[in-house]
Structure 1
Amino acid sequence: MVYYIYLILAVLCFIGELFSMDFSLACFGVGLLGAAGVSALGLGLGWQVLVFIAVAGALFVGIRPLALKHLYHANKHVKMNVDALIGRRVTVLTAPDGENIGRVQTDGDNWRAQFAAPAAAGEEVQVEKVDGNTLFVVPIQTQEEK
C-alpha cells in the first residue's frame, strides 16, 4: 500500500474516535500513522503490518486503560434525576397543612412535599428521600444535629 492510504485511514480513525470516545480508534489511528511512516521509508508490507500491530497493540494494552481511568473516573459517581435531589436544600413554597403536606421548590421545579416537622413558607428544608412525585423533607437543623 502507498503511505497516503494509511494516512487517510488514520484520519478516518481519528474522526471516528470523536464519536466513540473510548480511545480504541485512536490507538488504531496511531498504528496506521506508524505504518504510513514505514511505507514512506520504502519498507515492505510485512514491516508495515508488523509496525501497525506493534504500535496499535502497545497503545491498546498499555495506554488505553490509563486514559480511560483518568478520563472517566469522576463520572461513575454522578447522581442523576431524582437521586440528585436527596440531601439538597429546597425552599418551602406552601407551609404544610394538617397532614404535613405542602409544596417546595428546587431549581425552578415545584414539588409536593411530606414534612417531618412544621415549616414556614420561604424557609429552607432538606430532602431526605423521594417517593414518586413526593419529596420527604426535614428541617435543616435536625439534619445537622445527627
Structure 2
Amino acid sequence: MDTILQMFQDWAWIGWLVLMVLFFVIEIFTLDMTFLMLGLGSAVGLLSTLTGWPVWVQVIIAALAAVLLIFVLRPPLLRRLHRGEDQTRSNVDALLGLHGTVLLEVTALTGQVKLSNGETWTARLASDAPVIAPLSPGAPVTVSRIEGATAYVRSAHV
C-alpha cells in the first residue's frame, strides 16, 4: 500500500500538467478567464510538487491559489479586456425608446407600427401607458418594451 501511495506521490506532477493543459484548452473556447485562473492554480500545484509535500497539501495549495486568482486577478483582467468594447445597443435593446408611427390602430390587443429604423412591427399599447385610448393611424409612438415579435408602445405626445 505504501508503494502505491509513494508512486502516486512521485508521479503527481503528470496530473498537474494534464490539469493545466485541460484548463488552458477549455479557456481557449470559453474566454471567460475562469479556466485560465484554474490552470494557473494547477501550475502552482505543479510547482508545489518540488517541495515534496504530500498530494493533499498540493491540492489545497493549488485550490487556494486558484480561488485567490479568480477573486483578485480575474476582475481587473476582464475590465481591461472589455474596456474598448462598442457600447452601441443592438438587437432588442436598440429598439427600446425608438420612435415610430401608427400604421393600423393600436389597442391593447392589436395594432401595427412603423419604427424610425424602417421596420414594421405588430404593436400593442403598453400596460404602463398613461393613455388607454386606442392610437389612430399616423399617431407618433415610442417603444417601451419588446416581447417576442410584438412592440409595446405608448403615445409620443405624453
TM-score of the aligned structures, taking structure 1 as reference length: 0.52
CA contact (8 A) 2:20 2:39 kept: yes
Residue 136 of structure 1 aligns with which residue? 153
The Cα RMSD (Å) is 4.5
Q: Shift in Å at residue 45 of structure 1?
A: 3.7
Residue 111 of structure 1 aligns with which residue? 122
Structure 1 gap segments, 5+ residues each: 73-77
* Aligned positions of 1:39-118 closer than 5 A: 39=49, 42-46=50-54, 49=58, 51-64=61-74, 66=75, 70=79, 85-92=95-102, 94=103, 96=105, 102-106=111-115, 108-114=119-125, 118=136
Find the partner of 1:126 among 142, 145, 158.
142
Q: Shift in Å at residue 30 of structure 1?
A: 0.6
> Is 1:36 the counterpart of 2:46 in the alignment?
yes
Q: Shift in Å at residue 57 of structure 1?
A: 3.5
CA contact (8 A) 1:104 1:113 kept: no
User: What is the rounded CA distance, in whole Å, between the counterparts of 1:128 and 1:116 in structure 2?
Assistant: 16
Residue 24 of structure 2 aligns with which residue? 14
State percent identity of aligned pairs.
20
CA contact (8 A) 1:86 1:130 kept: yes
CA contact (8 A) 2:105 2:134 kept: no
Change (3 A) 1:10 1:130: closer
Instruction: Please state whether the residue corresponding to 1:29 is helix, strand or coil.
Output: helix
After superposition, give the CA deviation of every residue in 1:93-113 in whole Å (9 maximum; x if it has no partner).
x2549xxx7521346342135
User: What is the rounded CA distance, in whole Å, between the counterparts of 2:31 and 2:114 in structure 1?
Assistant: 38
Code of the aligned partner of 1:111:
T
